[in-house]
Amino acid sequence: MAQADPKRVGIIGLGLMGRAMAGRLLAAGWSVCGYDLAAAACDAAAGLGVEVLPDARAVAAETKTIVLSLMTSEDRRRLCWGDQNLAAALPPGTVLLDTTTARPEDILEDHARLAASGVRLVDVCLSGSSQVAAEGRSLALIGAPEADAGCRDLLSAFCKAQYYFDTPGQGNRVKLIVNLVFGLNRLVLAEALGLAEHAGFDLDTILEILRSGETHSVAMDTKGPKMVSGVYEPAVARLAQHAKDVGLILEYARQVGAETPVSEVHAGLINDLVERGLGDLDNAAIFEAYRG
C-alpha cells in the first residue's frame, strides 16, 4: 500500500512554496502527491510530476506524512475542521509538517487538538522565498525536538540547515524574528533607492555601490534589481504575505514587551500598498511606497 512507502509525501497547498518543495522532493527521489483549492496551482504542480488528487482527504489516504503550505492559521483550521474536514480522515500516526508562518498560539492549540486523535502537528517554518527553497537553500525552524520530529531526511531535500526547538510554536516564533530582519532589509534598501531616485542618481549605479561595500545585504541581490526596474512579477514572495507576517511580528512583540517602532512604520507602509491593490506583487514592491 502507498502508506508503507517511506518516501511517499503529500503536500496540501501547491502555490509558490508548495511547488518549490515538490520539485526538490521529486528530484531527490520522493513520490509526491498533493492538492490545492486553485486549479491553476494543481495544473502547475502536475506539470512538475506531482500526482494531483481530488481533495485533501484523498492525500490523507495516500501517506502519513503531509506537508502543509498555507497562508494563515485560519486556512489550516478550515482545512482540518471545515468543509474538507481533513482531521477526520487522518489515521493515527500521521505527521503534519506545517510550513505556514502563523500565530504561534494557534499552533499550540491545534497541536493539542490533533494529538488527541494520535496525529502530530509540527511547525516547520521555512526561512527564505520559494526561489530559495527551489535552490535547496532554505532554513528549517522546527517546533519540536529533533528526536521526535522525524523529518530530517525530507527537509534535507530543500533546506541547507535545520534548527530544532523543543516545543510547538517555537519554530513560528523564531520565523517571526527572522522575517522582521528580512522585511526591514528590504525597507531600508527601498528608502535608500527612493532617496537616490528623487535626487536624480542612476539607480543601477547606486545599487552597485551598495552591493559592493559594507552596506551589502542579500536583499540587494534578490530585490534590488526588481526595485530598479520597477518590475515585480513573477513574484517569489508576495507583498500581501509579508503584510500578514508583519502583523504577526507586531502582535508577538507586544506579547513579550519588545519595542519595534521601525516595524510599526513598516506595517503602515506595506498595508497601504496592499490597499492600493499591489498585494500580489513580489515584496520588492515596497519600493513603490517611496516613489513619486
> Do 184 and 157 fall into the same domain?
no
Domains: count for the chain? 2
Which residues lie across from 198 on neighbouring strands? none
Specify the pLDDT at position 4: 53
Which residues lie across from 52 on neighbouring strands? 34
> Do 269 and 251 fall into the same domain?
yes
Range of the domain at 218: 174-290
State the CATH number of the domain containing residue 272. 1.10.1040.10
> Do 180 and 235 fall into the same domain?
yes
> Do 156 and 192 fall into the same domain?
no
> Do 33 and 129 fall into the same domain?
yes
> Do 68 and 115 fall into the same domain?
yes
Question: How many other CB atoms are there within 10 angstroms of residue 181's CB atom?
Answer: 12
Over the Cα atoms of the chain, what is R_g?
20
> Do 101 and 222 fall into the same domain?
no
Cell of 25: 522532493
Specify the pLDDT at position 149: 78
Where the chain has pLDDT below 70, the residues are 1-4
Burial class (CB in 10 A: 0-12, 13-18, 19+), 1: exposed
> Do 60 and 155 fall into the same domain?
yes
Distance CA 221, CA 153 (A): 30
> Do 51 and 182 fall into the same domain?
no
> Do 189 and 143 fall into the same domain?
no
Specify the pLDDT at position 1: 39
Q: Which of 130, 146, 167 is the last residue of a domain?
A: 167
77-82, Cβ contacts within 8 angstroms, sequence gap of 24 or more: 77/106, 77/110, 79/12, 80/110, 80/114
> Do 99 and 117 fall into the same domain?
yes
> Do 184 and 135 fall into the same domain?
no
Cell of 284: 520588492
Q: Which of 167, 182, 215 is the last residue of a domain?
A: 167
- At residue 232, what are phi and psi to the nearest 5 degrees? -115, 20
Which residues lie across from 97 on neighbouring strands? 67, 122
Distance CA 123, CA 115 (A): 14
Q: Which of 167, 200, 228 is the last residue of a domain?
A: 167
State the CATH number of the domain containing residue 30. 3.40.50.720
